Amino acid sequence: MDLAGEELFELRQLFLRELAEGHVVARQALEKLDADALQALRGVFHKIAGTAEAVNLGLLGRLAAVCEATLDALIDGSARLSKRHERILREGVEGIGSLLASEPEPPAPPAEADLPPSGETPRILVVDDDPVSSRLVEGVLKAAGISSMLCGDPAKAFDLAVQENPDLIILDVAMPGMDGFRLCQRLRAHSGLQLTPVIFVTRKGNVEQRVRGLQVGGNDYLAKPFDAEELVARVRSHLQRLSGLRELALRDGLTGCYNNQYFKRRLEQELSRADRHHGTVAVAMIDIDHFKRINDGYGHPAGDAVLAQLASILIAAVRSHDVVARYGGEEFGIILVEAGPGEAELVSNRLRERVQLRRFEVPASHGEQPRTASCTLSLGIASFRKGDTAASLLQRADTALYEAKRAGRNRVWVAS
């Protein structure tokens, strides 16, 4: 298919978005491999095989075609499921994951192309005690493809912001009990909300309120009655800036994983959601066995190379909505969202086996030939139970990790 550059780019982004969704379906189906799972896998690979060539991903298309043919044989009964078939399908799913890990995250769909490529629709918290005004803002944002949460009680807005971590807050100034200025000061005092843009809604022509809003930490103001296009333009502008700031503030520079601070804050949010909705969440704490030997034997640049490559493996091995963080040194943490103990143990063991078989490329020194190093992982798992806090869940995962290392390393230990 001969496409112009811009058309090819848009088609490729659409393909990658669909591919990411298909990868989630394929990973889940791969764990079952019953009749329904085989049909689901075939649907994923069929789409890839038919479109990958058009976006210059011919190798992935050919891999998908092999998997599709394998699934056809299994579904029509001309072949029986064997270890070889499982290996072909697993390699196909891992091939999808590897491509997604190597590609920059695609931007939002065309209607929202100028919004931050966060992988989710931006969420706005609208705090206004006037239901008519807040619904009007909600309607304008919805028409622009931006979802919003409404809160008419400023006393409850702070807790809601902490729990939901919105991408931006639209804040009315004049509210009973606690005005917008006091609420903004509370928001800015919370470490997790210091980067969140705040747009004040003020009465037109009230310069004093505008100045004070900026002094207490607001980023912008919008005059009432507001223009719909202006509201959307200001929201999108701040979301774009936030995207870059968050990446700098939340990511570990060496590995590209989230940092310790974000990991703990996100864990608190996921535990809050699990508690409210009777859901599940698990934490895996991961440590590289005898990492000091790599640094001593190959040099610290080699240790850094192993950490960076391991991070890529961890990110590719979990779902897009799971959280991978560098917890500190050679220790990593993973939040497995909506995962029970069995699934967490399965994912952890698969990850451990994959790393055990991997040869990590490390820098050569003094003109030597390229070298490789190997390592193993010890993992401790803890699953959410009623009454857990982030600290208690992490403590049980850390204890399980200690038990895994005490039992001989290179193993997964599930907290009792």
Active site residues per annotation: 330
Burial class (CB in 10 A: 0-12, 13-18, 19+), 43: middle
44 within 8 A of 20, measured Cβ to Cβ: no
Burial class (CB in 10 A: 0-12, 13-18, 19+), 238: buried
Element (H, E) at 333: strand 331-337
Compute φ and ψ for 390, nearest 5 degrees: -60, -40
Q: Sign of torsion, CA 226 228 233 235?
A: positive
3-state secondary structure of 73: helix
Burial class (CB in 10 A: 0-12, 13-18, 19+), 80: exposed
Complete DSSP assignment for 190-208: SGGGSSS-EEEEEETT-HH
Residue in the structure block whose two tokens are 């992988």: 119
Give residues with Cβ within 8 angstroms of 301, minimum separation 6. Answer: 362, 363
